[in-house]
Structure formats: C-alpha cells, structure tokens
Chain A
Amino acid sequence: MAVQPEIDHATGRTTTGHEWDGIKELNSPLPKWWLYIFYATIVWSVGYWIVYPSWPLVTNYTKGVFGYASRQDVTRELDALKALRAERAGALARTPLEDIAKDPTLLTFALAQGKAAFGDNCAPCHGLSATGSPSFPNLRDDTWLWGGGIADIHQTIAFGIRNADDRSRQGPMPGLGGPNGALKPDEVITVANFVRALSGLPTRQGYDPAKGKELFANNCAACHGDEGRGNREMGAPNLTSRNFLYGSDEKTIIETINLGRGGVMPGWAGRLDETTVKSLAVYVHALGGGQ
C-alpha cells in the first residue's frame, strides 16, 4: 500500500513523510562516500583486532600480531630519558663537588635529581620538606652537627653516622647520670639549666650559675667547648643554638645528660650511585643555605 511520496512545494523535493508541528522533513539523502567511509572504518577496526591486543578472553586476551603492549612504550621512554640524562649525569660525575653550583645547568640538574632522591630515601626520617623532627635534624636551618659545608654534608650522606662502617661519623654523648654516673641528680639539673642559659632560655629558681659553669667546665667542655659552642669533629652540638635536636625543655635536657644520646644514620654510598649522593649533597646544602 505504498503511497506516492509527498512533494514539498517550496523546494520541489520529496519529503520523508515525517512531520512535527506542521514542519515536514525533506528527504535529503546522505552522500554515498559517507556510507563508504563508514564501511571503511568497520574494515579498519577488523585490522585493529588483528594487529593490536583487543578481545578479552576468559583468563587472557588476544595479543595481536604486532605484539604491542603499552608497557614497552614506558620502558622505551624511560630508556630515552636515561640516554637524555646521560650527558648531564656524566658532567655531574666529573665535576668536583664545590664546582657544581658554579654551572647553572648542572646545579639545576643536581637540585632536581637531589630532590627526587631525597623524597625517596631521606624523607622518612627528615621529612618531605627536610624540616626533621625530634631526634632527626632539621636540614633547613643553620645548625649542623657535623658541619654544613658541602664536603661535610657529602661525607655524612655517603657514610652515615655512628654505624658499623669505619668511615661513618663517630662521637658518643655518654650518659652522665645514674648511680655510677659522673653527676649526681641535683648536679644534672644544674648543668641542664646552665645549658638552657647558654641559648638564652630561662632557668629555674634557685639555680646557681657559678656551680653550673664549674660542672660544665669539668664534665662537658671537653667536647662541647668552654663556651658551649660545640665541636663538629665529634658531632658535639653547639649548645648556644636555639635549635635543639631532642628538645630544649629542662626535662628533655636532663634526660639527655642522664642517659646520653647516640642517634644513627645509615651511609648511602653503597646503596645509591655516586652522582645521586652528589646530587643529594648539593640539594641538602642548598636547602640549608650552605656554609
């Protein structure tokens, strides 16, 4: 029961017979090439199935004849990156530690590499922003237990502190309190207050500065110096600094004097390659403003 197609008067073209609110749809056929391109894309997709990984199977998937896997791209890109960095890394390895900062390109490279390595290896103790926490030094300030020059920092990073390696930094803070200790409990309190006074902190009532000075001179000055300015050879902290590794309140200082301290740090020379350790030294040196 085909009806003759309707002819639109304005255009003289046939309509599809569809009508909305009196507006009729003209029959505008699609161009054939459009259809052929659609078929071509279907054929193309079959090609895709064959050459690339595509169909999921029960436990696996079709791998495709090209053997393509996006993982390979990552590996290739990483290799390319390494090759790209090789030149700079080589220059870094050749340049003496002190001269790295003189070459802006090298400095930028070392800082970037150092930052990444710091986040991976150092941040667990020193914090992501290198501000440390009690027992773990803040690397951003100017208080350096073992020296803040770039060579000192490199030495510390490479071999660590108070570990089994002979080359590591050594220097104990012995406990002076206890039944067999050099200091009696009230003397420990006096010395603790003397130390607080050194860095300008208030002292407790009844504290005798002369006694404190004498006790300090006899027990502490050998390492910390007569004026309490410390000795970086042995990692003896500068006691006039505002920044205390373990805390500056009286209780903590008393604990330090009574029991001693012996914080350790691993050496990284064996675990990280030479240039990474160098970069770390440059990075940490830059953080603290260097010395």
Chain B
Amino acid sequence: MSDILASATASKGAPPPVPDFPEDEPLYESRREIYQQSVKGRLRTIKWAVLVGCLAVYYFLPFLRWYRGPNQPDQAVLVDLANNRFYFFFIEIWPQEIYYFTGLLVMASLVLFLMNAVAGRVWCGYLCPQTVWTDLFTTVERWVEGDRRERMMADAQPMTAAKIGRKTLKHFLWLMIAWWTGGAWVLYFADAPTLVKDLATFQAPMVAYVWIGILTFTTYSLAGLMKEQVCLYMCPWPRIQAALTDQYALNVTYRYDRGEPRLSMKAAAKAREAGEPAGDCIDCRQCVVVCPTGVDIRDGAQLGCIQCGLCIDACNSVMTKVNRPLGLIAYDNDVNIDRRRQGLDEVYPIIRPRTLAYAALIAAVGLVMIYGLMTRSFTDLSVLHDRNPLYVQLSDGSVRNSYTVRILNKRPVHRIFVLAVDELPLARLTAVGISMTAGDWPVIDVGPDSTREVIVHLTAQKPADLPPSSRVTFRITELGTGEKVSMSDHFISR
C-alpha cells in the first residue's frame, strides 16, 4: 500500500498540501430566519385551493356520517382499534384483510413516482402535510406580524410591548391550530361527536389527551418553529425524489438560456443598445424572497427547492412589469434549455416509457384492488384439524377426527349456517354446544359482524373402507340465501 502511494507521489512530485480545517469555520450552522414574502399568481392560487381542500378534508372528515345499519358505527371514516375494524365509507376491513392497505400504499408510491416523472416534486410543493401546515402557519405569521419587510424590520429592532404582543398572539394562534390538528387526529379513532363531547367534559380516555398533546407539539414545532428545516435536514423524500427524476421531468427551472447574463435594468438597456448580449433576469431577487426554503432557483435544481412554484409567480409579475415575456422561471427542463440554445423546438414528452409504465402499474394495482373489493366475501370458513391426536378409535371400532371450525360473518346481521361435509359417506358430524340440526347436520348461528369458533367431531363408521387419509370438504350453507363457502381438510382413519 505504502509502495503504491510512494510511487504515486513520486511520479507526481510532492503531494498537495492538505488544507487544515480553518479554526474560524464553524462546524454548526444557525438557522437563518426566512422572511417569506407574499406573492400572487396562478400557482399561488392553485396552492391556496389545495391547502383549503386538504385541511377541510382533514379537519372535518371525521364528522361525515355514513349509515351502515343498526348497531353499526355510522362514521364514514373510522379506525376502530378496540374492535379491530376499519371503516371507509362502504368498505369495512377486518384485520386479516390488511392487504388492502398494502395495495393502497403500493398505489400511493406509484402515484408519487408518476407525479415525479411528470412534474417533479409536486408532492413536496403542494400536497405534503409539512408544506400545507407550514404554509398555513406562515400565513398566520404574515397576518399577525406583517409581510417580509415589516417582519424583518421588527426583528431588527429592540423588544417593545407591541412586538411582544404580536409574537405572543402568533404563537398562541399557532398553538391553537396545532391543538386542533391533534384534536382532529383522535377523532378518526372513535365516534367523533361523542368524543368531542367527552373531550370537552374531560370524560375522554387518557390516550386521547396524550395523542392530542403529541400532535399539538409536533405540529407546532414542525410547522411553526422548524419549517424548511424539516425539508432540508429531516425528510428522506427529497433524497429519494432526486433518484426518481429524469431529464424529461418538468421541474421548476430558471431558464438561464434566456436569463443570462443577468443585468440590472439600466445595464441591460445599455447592453442591448450596444448590441451586446443581455439576459432577461434583472437580478431583483424576487424569486428568492418568496421562496419558502430560501433558496435561489437560479443556482439550478437543488435539494432545498421543494418546487412549490412560488418563484414562477414572483418572476412572472416582475416580467410583466419590465415588459418581457413571461416564463423566465417555469416548469421546464435542461433538455429544452439545450434545444433552445441550439435553435431547436422545445419538446414536452409527457407520455414516455417511464410515465406509461407507472400509469400501467397504477392501473394494474387499482384493478386488482377493485376486483378484490368487488368479490370480497362476506362469509369465510376456516377449518383446523386437531394435531394431537389425529384420530380417536371409538368403542364400536369407528374412528373420529376433531376439527376447530371458524365461521366469519362480515355482514351486519345475524346469520344461520348449516355445516356439512362432502365426500365422506356414512359420516356423522357433531358440534360442541350446538343442539340445533338440519337433517343430520349442525346448524350454527353467527352474530352480526363477528366470528364463531366451534369444535366439531367427525365420525366414520367403517374406517377400514377408507384410505388412511381421505379428503373431506367442509361446507357452510346460509339458511335463506343459500350462500355457500367450503374448505377442504383431511380425515385420518388410521
């Protein structure tokens, strides 16, 4: 090893000096307060709409009612942990059907991939709870303390009673929103109107208050105090997104082919007169001051940019004022920048193998899920053969096998089933605790939305006529509807 190093250094001469880490270079960085300036424009309008929509769903969905029948919860979306049920409008999911969630999660990630392939970090910029709540908190901040300039000036000045008052009001409002956020969260886990009443009268379970406390704390600190720090340092998604993008994905892009060389308005006018190149960017930094993460989009696509598009709106208003074409910053990509520089037409291949593949996968998973939901059975049967002993010989020489039969009734009504076995002639079936029979078969009633487990004994009169192990099919038939479900197992005769 040292030989290699020696020869390497020998061939190149003296090794370059390794710079000492300078003493005055700090190892840690303080957060730079970002005084985000308000902005108006098309994308800002879209963002408002998304914000209002998302928050309305989050805060009010638990109050939406959905009738499911008597003695059934009538909350449209409910996670009933105590009874192991998840209700989503017309869907009711049992714990053993958790694969629906798997499908949902697979689909959600595929949708994220697709959004990324089409228009970059749409999730980060518009839909992520961190973005939505931070936007909300910043709006409150602006409402109480004023826009960028006022806030900067106030912060530069010494504390006054008025300033303390404004800051207190801001934090109070933030805490109230955070508290309501936590409050809405717990409503998804119990009947919302009842829980609201219980919470108000301090009758609610401890765990509800604890969760409200936790979510108040996280909302207040993440959306109020941490803001962009979450995106810059805590969130893995910016790192993953970078790996999902390609050269055709539309990202918020500063079109430097048009913008450079950036010159002040006067300098640009002079340069144009002299026939020298002048870019459209007037270096007014409006794109930087409206940015929620405080980055300069003119440095190119970067981890800090959540692609909220606000700089597009800001720059467009500047371009309107200086009478230059809009879209100096726009959803675009480097491919088009290169093509424009070469005098070629821009291309926007939204439909390309990558997006098609994602769309096809989404459709496939969606279809499988829909198929699963459509054909979801409301009756299930499971049969478990006793393992020890496998069979028992009775006094008259006949042989008996025992099984545990479990019937699932996923309908909200009482149902009655006849349990029978096929393929085993001369067999007698008895069930422990069941006295009702139809013909010779036990009749089992199962309560609404529940399961019933029954021990059954299956006896064959002439075991000598049977193979050592023969197949038997247990079948339940609902009285009335005739709905059938069957399940195979084995009968061991010796």
Do the beta carbons of A32 and B29 come within 8 Å of each other? yes
Q: Is B425 an interface residue (CB 8 A)?
A: no
Do the beta carbons of A104 and B452 come within 8 Å of each other? yes
A104 to B233, CA, bound (A): 56
Taking the closest CB of chain B, its distance from the CB of A28, in whole angstroms, is 9
Taking the closest CB of chain B, its distance from the CB of A61, in whole angstroms, is 30
Do the beta carbons of A141 and B394 come within 8 Å of each other? yes
A101 to B432, CA, bound (A): 8
A69 to B452, CA, bound (A): 39
Do the beta carbons of B28 and A31 come within 8 Å of each other? yes
Q: Is A251 an interface residue (CB 8 A)?
A: no
Do the beta carbons of B19 and A4 come within 8 Å of each other? yes
A111-B455 contact in complex given A30-B29, A290-B432, C-beta closer than 8 Å: yes
Question: Contacts of A238 on B, CB cut-off 8 Å?
Answer: 395
The stretch from A40-48, A183-191, A210-218, A239-247 touching chain B is A239-247
Taking the closest CB of chain A, its distance from the CB of B8, in whole angstroms, is 13
Question: Contacts of B25 on A, CB cut-off 8 Å?
Answer: 5, 14, 27
Question: Contacts of B430 on A, CB cut-off 8 Å?
Answer: 289
Contact partner of B455 (CB less than 8 A), chosen from A3, A4, A286, is A286
| 148-173 of chain A: CB within 8 A of chain B | none
Contact partner of A31 (CB less than 8 A), chosen from B233, B395, B432, is B233
Q: Is A138 an interface residue (CB 8 A)?
A: yes
Question: Contacts of A131 on B, CB cut-off 8 Å?
Answer: 388-389, 392
Question: Contacts of B388 on A, CB cut-off 8 Å?
Answer: 128-129, 131
A20 to B253, CA, bound (A): 31
Do the beta carbons of B27 and A242 come within 8 Å of each other? no
Q: Is A142 an interface residue (CB 8 A)?
A: yes
Do the beta carbons of B392 and A138 come within 8 Å of each other? yes
Question: Contacts of B457 on A, CB cut-off 8 Å?
Answer: 289
| 1-24 of chain A: CB within 8 A of chain B | 1-6, 14-17
Closest Cβ neighbor of A18 among chain B residues? B18
Contact partner of B31 (CB less than 8 A), chosen from A16, A33, A240, is A33
CB-defined interface of B14-53 with A at 8 Å, one 1/0 digit per residue? 0001111111011111110000000000000000000000
Q: Is B229 an interface residue (CB 8 A)?
A: yes
Q: Is A143 an interface residue (CB 8 A)?
A: yes
A290 to B402, CA, bound (A): 13
Taking the closest CB of chain B, its distance from the CB of A119, in whole angstroms, is 12
A111 to B455, CA, bound (A): 10
Contact partner of A142 (CB less than 8 A), chosen from B22, B389, B395, B452, is B395
Q: Is A108 an interface residue (CB 8 A)?
A: yes
Do the beta carbons of A240 and B435 come within 8 Å of each other? no
Contact partner of B27 (CB less than 8 A), chosen from A5, A6, A30, A287, is A30
| 427-463 of chain B: CB within 8 A of chain A | 430, 432-433, 435, 452-453, 455, 457, 459
Taking the closest CB of chain B, its distance from the CB of A118, in whole angstroms, is 13
Do the beta carbons of B26 and A241 come within 8 Å of each other? no
Question: Contacts of A140 on B, CB cut-off 8 Å?
Answer: 389, 392, 400, 402
Q: Is A107 an interface residue (CB 8 A)?
A: yes
Closest Cβ neighbor of B435 among chain A residues? A102
| 141-185 of chain B: CB within 8 A of chain A | none
Q: Is B397 an interface residue (CB 8 A)?
A: yes
Secondary structure at the B interface, as helix, strand, loop or mixed, is: loop
- Central interface residue in B25, B229, B396, B397, by most chain A CB within 10 Å: B396
A241-B395 contact in complex given A5-B21, A29-B29, A129-B389, C-beta closer than 8 Å: yes
Do the beta carbons of B30 and A32 come within 8 Å of each other? yes
Do the beta carbons of B21 and A35 come within 8 Å of each other? no
Question: Contacts of A128 on B, CB cut-off 8 Å?
Answer: 388
Instruction: Give the size of the chain A interface in residues (CB under 8 angstroms).
Output: 42
Q: How large is the interface on B (under 10, 10 to 19, 20 to 34, 35 or more residues)?
A: 35 or more
Q: Is B393 an interface residue (CB 8 A)?
A: yes
Taking the closest CB of chain B, its distance from the CB of A229, in whole angstroms, is 10
A32-B31 contact in complex given A5-B19, A5-B22, A286-B455, C-beta closer than 8 Å: yes
Q: Is A200 an interface residue (CB 8 A)?
A: yes
Do the beta carbons of A243 and B393 come within 8 Å of each other? yes
Closest Cβ neighbor of A100 among chain B residues? B433
Do the beta carbons of A34 and B233 come within 8 Å of each other? yes
A260 to B21, CA, bound (A): 99
Closest Cβ neighbor of A237 among chain B residues? B395
Taking the closest CB of chain A, its distance from the CB of B243, in whole angstroms, is 18
Taking the closest CB of chain A, its distance from the CB of B401, in whole angstroms, is 11
Contact partner of B397 (CB less than 8 A), chosen from A29, A101, A108, A200, is A200
Closest Cβ neighbor of B29 among chain A residues? A29
Taking the closest CB of chain B, its distance from the CB of A239, in whole angstroms, is 10
A224 to B393, CA, bound (A): 22
Closest Cβ neighbor of A128 among chain B residues? B388
A7 to B248, CA, bound (A): 32
- Central interface residue in B19, B226, B402, B453, by most chain A CB within 10 Å: B19
Taking the closest CB of chain B, its distance from the CB of A289, in whole angstroms, is 5
A48 to B254, CA, bound (A): 52
| 228-258 of chain A: CB within 8 A of chain B | 238, 240-243
A102-B433 contact in complex given A242-B395, A242-B396, C-beta closer than 8 Å: yes
CB-defined interface of B210-236 with A at 8 Å, one 1/0 digit per residue? 000000000000000010010011000
Contact partner of A242 (CB less than 8 A), chosen from B21, B29, B386, B393, is B393
Question: Contacts of B397 on A, CB cut-off 8 Å?
Answer: 200, 242
| 204-225 of chain A: CB within 8 A of chain B | none
- Central interface residue in A17, A35, A131, A138, by most chain B CB within 10 Å: A17
Closest Cβ neighbor of B30 among chain A residues? A32
A3 to B18, CA, bound (A): 8
A243-B395 contact in complex given A101-B432, A286-B432, C-beta closer than 8 Å: yes
A131 to B390, CA, bound (A): 11
Question: Contacts of B19 on A, CB cut-off 8 Å?
Answer: 2-6, 15, 17
Closest Cβ neighbor of A243 among chain B residues? B395
Question: Contacts of B31 on A, CB cut-off 8 Å?
Answer: 31-33
Question: Contacts of A34 on B, CB cut-off 8 Å?
Answer: 28, 233
A287 to B453, CA, bound (A): 15
Do the beta carbons of B28 and A32 come within 8 Å of each other? yes
| 372-431 of chain B: CB within 8 A of chain A | 386, 388-389, 392-397, 400, 402, 430
Instruction: List residues of A whose CB falls within 8 A of some B CB.
Output: 1-6, 14-17, 27, 29-35, 101-102, 104, 107-108, 111, 128-129, 131, 138, 140-143, 200, 238, 240-243, 286-287, 289-290
27 contacts between A and B (CB under 8 A): A2-B19, A3-B18, A4-B19, A5-B25, A14-B25, A15-B19, A16-B21, A29-B29, A30-B29, A31-B28, A31-B30, A32-B29, A34-B28, A101-B433, A102-B435, A104-B452, A129-B386, A131-B392, A140-B402, A141-B393, A142-B395, A238-B395, A240-B395, A241-B396, A286-B432, A286-B455, A290-B432
Instruction: List residues of B whose CB falls within 8 A of some A CB.
Output: 17-23, 25-31, 226, 229, 232-233, 386, 388-389, 392-397, 400, 402, 430, 432-433, 435, 452-453, 455, 457, 459
Nearest 4 interchain pairs by C-beta: A241-B395, A129-B388, A101-B433, A3-B19
